[in-house]
């Protein structure tokens, strides 16, 4: 077995356990008491892994935006592409789609230097079910919006 094959196999095992942990944490794969089971939608391991990555990526974007604004940023919120071009965000975000989710950053309409972040499944039902929204206060919300953006009125993603 080649080194690449061993590394790939190890990566798949890690992703499987991460998705399983996320699934159990959110009660999304158990008795139907939480997660996507509430609406009768089964979560594949890919969807669970992508949704876990979406939360991680939201936090990475949040940290990059905060660093960008702290470094000057002209008082303006940067787009994901601007964050990537200015080296505040990994090149993996180029194109604003990563791990089965589309991300966008928007300035808050009434608060200077405040921003919101949205993450929606790139292909609803295949790459993800839940949409996520990081409000101007840093709270992440989630809901099954059938591929549309979540909002601040949706439930918190973290208990």
Chain segment 36-55, per-residue pLDDT in tens = 444 446 579 999 999 999 99
Domain boundaries, the chain: 44-143
Digit-coded pLDDT (tens) for 91-133:
888 777 899 999 999 988 777 778 999 999 999 999 999 999 9
Residue 24 in contact with residue 16, Cβ under 8 Å? no
Evaluate whether 98 touches 92 at the Cβ level (below 8 Å): yes
Looking at residue 149, its pLDDT comes to 95
Look up residue 124 and give its DSSP letter: B
| 3-state SS, one letter per residue, for 20-60 | HHHHHHCCCCCCCCCHHHHHCCCCCHHHHHHHHHHHHHHHH
Contacts of 114 (CB under 8 A, 6+ apart): 77, 107, 108, 136
Taking residues 125-146, what's their average pLDDT?
95
Strand partners, 52: none
């Amino acid at each position: 077995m080649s080194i690449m094959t061993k590394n790939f196999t190890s990566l798949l095992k890690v992703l499987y356990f991460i998705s399983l942990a996320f699934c159990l944490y959110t009660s999304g794969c158990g008795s139907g008491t939480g997660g996507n089971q509430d609406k009768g939608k089964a979560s594949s391991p890919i969807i669970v892994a992508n949704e876990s990555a979406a939360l991680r990526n939201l936090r990475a974007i949040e940290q990059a935006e905060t660093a960008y604004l702290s470094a000057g940023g002209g008082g303006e919120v940067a787009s994901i592409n601007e964050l990537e071009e200015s080296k505040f965000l990994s090149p993996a975000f180029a194109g604003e789609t990563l791990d089965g989710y589309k991300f966008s950053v928007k300035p808050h309409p009434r608060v200077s230097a405040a921003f919101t972040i949205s993450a929606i499944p790139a292909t609803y039902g295949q790459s993800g079910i839940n949409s996520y929204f990081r409000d101007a206060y840093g709270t992440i919300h989630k809901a099954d919006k059938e591929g549309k953006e979540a909002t601040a009125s949706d439930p918190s993603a973290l208990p």
